[in-house]
Amino acid sequence: MFVSETKKTLTFHEGTDRAGTVTIRRLSGKSLRKAAEAKTMASLKTASAISADTMKLVGDAVKDAAAARMKDEHAGAVTYDAYDLETVLVAGVESWSYAAKLPAGLDQLDDDIEERLFKEILDLSVTKKEVAEAERKND
């Protein structure tokens, strides 16, 4: 099965004049890697502006975060802060009922809707089945 076939439609602001739907899709492995790499690159860019001592602390924190992400994924959970929000939204929001065009309209989202979409897309994309397969490969 192609990952693009796994979709979910979410409703927002039901019963108001701002009501609408957003259809999200499961991200491919390539899209998940891009989102993780974008998050890492943003962290490195920030780290490049700080001292060597602070850089070591940041490096240790990045290693700890990567280890936590692997542990969470093995437990079937998602470590949201390991992925870049914009990359996930651009790849994961397939369509919506709002007038703004995609992907430019993503910049107009309320923080709470943006966060919900981000988490829903990652929850749809990182599944327990994939975690089990990864563990089997590592055995």
Residues in CB range of 78: below 8 A, 6 or more apart:
72, 119, 122, 123, 126
The predicted structure's pLDDT at residue 111: 95
Q: Supply the pTM of this predicted model.
A: 0.72
Digit-coded pLDDT (tens) for 13-50: 999 999 999 999 999 989 998 998 998 888 777 766 66
- The yes-or-no verdict on residue 1 having pLDDT over 90 is no
Single-letter amino acid, residue 18:
R
* CA–CA gap between residue 86 and residue 114 (Å, rounded): 9
Could you state, in order of their start, the residue ranges of all structural domains in the chain?
3-138
